[in-house]
Amino acid sequence: MNTSLYKKIPLVGVVFSSIFFIGLFSCTSRIDINTEASAPRLVIYGSITTDTMQHSIKITRSSGYFSTSKPEGISHAMVSIHTDKETFTLQESSEEAGLYQTDKSVYGIEGETYHLSVALDFDEDGRQEEYEAVSYMPGAPRIDSIGFRPSDLLDNYLEVLVWGYMPEEEENYLSFHLYRNHEIVNDSLHGFFIIDDKYMDKKEITGVSCFYLDQEEEQSVLREGDIITVRIDGITKEYTTFINDAQSERRGSDPIFSGPPANVQTNIISKSPSENILISGFFTAFSGSKKTTIYR
């Protein structure tokens, strides 16, 4: 046998290989990871808009990470939304626990500041806690028309464009929403598209591409005669931050070794602070404008 081959292997390689195989077969000890759920949170989420409709506030108790059940709705709360001029009292839905709604005739007014008030006994100690949130309702853009064109950047994609103008008196953020035959297309958090109106030249919306639709995917393909509606909401900077934070938490950390995630910001404030009650959610007021056309 020729032994010269063995003599040419560096000593460090032998040592490394030995350590590797020892480690490979020695890591057999059991590791128990504590996956006990954290304390449930009080979650309050809802809005009031310029639409004449039932505006909703949802109040729930968060469930564990590994839970397969929906968050528990919290009943018997006292909920109201008010300005300096009027108050709207919300009633709990008879069909869904924890869902509180205004009358169908209620609508918000641009330029007003809206206050949410909630009273409930979350920790079930026999005493009600009080919570509140405040949101200003900014002005909405006005849409004049909607257009379509094949994308120059992406093959088999169709761009949806809008024309219109912005309110002159204030700076706000814009949230775009698309409907096809009265069904919303971007209804998930992942599909939210938000921009700062400072990117609009002279407060004009001149053929802005707000959606790219893959015409090879059934859920976004447009056909002759489809009823297409674009809605643009004027939202606050605070709500924009909340949406961006929630989207970031949904996507996860990137790169993988980036810093630890932080809790999504909330504007719900406890008037009777308790270390035992953690709060999540958001209350916002926003205005909206929409335009409908037929796809040809």
Predicted pLDDT of residue 260: 47
pLDDT band at 68 (very low <50, low <70, confident <90, very high): low
Predicted pLDDT of residue 15: 43
Least confident among 37-41, 79-83, 131-135, 197-201:
197-201
> Who has greater pLDDT, 261 or 132?
132
To which H or E segment does residue 280 belong? strand 278-294
pLDDT tens digit sequence for 226-258 = 999 999 999 999 999 898 888 777 655 555 544
pLDDT tens digit sequence for 19-58 = 444 454 555 556 555 555 567 889 999 999 999 999 999 9
In this structure, whether the domain defined by 41-138+261-288 belongs to CATH 3.40.50 is answered with no
CB < 8 Å & 24+ apart, contacts of 256-264: none
Range 279-285 average pLDDT: 95
The single-letter DSSP state of residue 211 is E
The torsion angles phi and psi of 5, rounded to 5 degrees, stand at -65, -40
DSSP secondary structure string for all residues of 107-136 = ---TT-EEEEEEEE-SS-SSS-EEEEEEEE
Query: Domain spans of the chain?
Result: 41-138+261-288, 142-237
Least confident among 5-19, 175-189, 219-233:
5-19
Predicted pLDDT of residue 294: 95
Range 77-102 average pLDDT: 97
Range 4-17 average pLDDT: 43
Predicted pLDDT of residue 29: 59
**Do residues 269 and 132 make contact, with C-beta atoms less than 8 angstroms apart?**
yes
**Do residues 88 and 36 make contact, with C-beta atoms less than 8 angstroms apart?**
no
How do 87-92 and 56-61 pair as beta strands?
A: unpaired
To which H or E segment does residue 18 belong? helix 11-26
Q: Judge whether residue 123 has pLDDT over 70.
A: yes
Number of helical H runs and strand E runs in the chain: 3, 17
**Do residues 210 and 252 make contact, with C-beta atoms less than 8 angstroms apart?**
no
Range 121-142 average pLDDT: 92
Q: Judge whether residue 180 has pLDDT over 50.
A: yes
Both tokens of residue 70? 């929906």
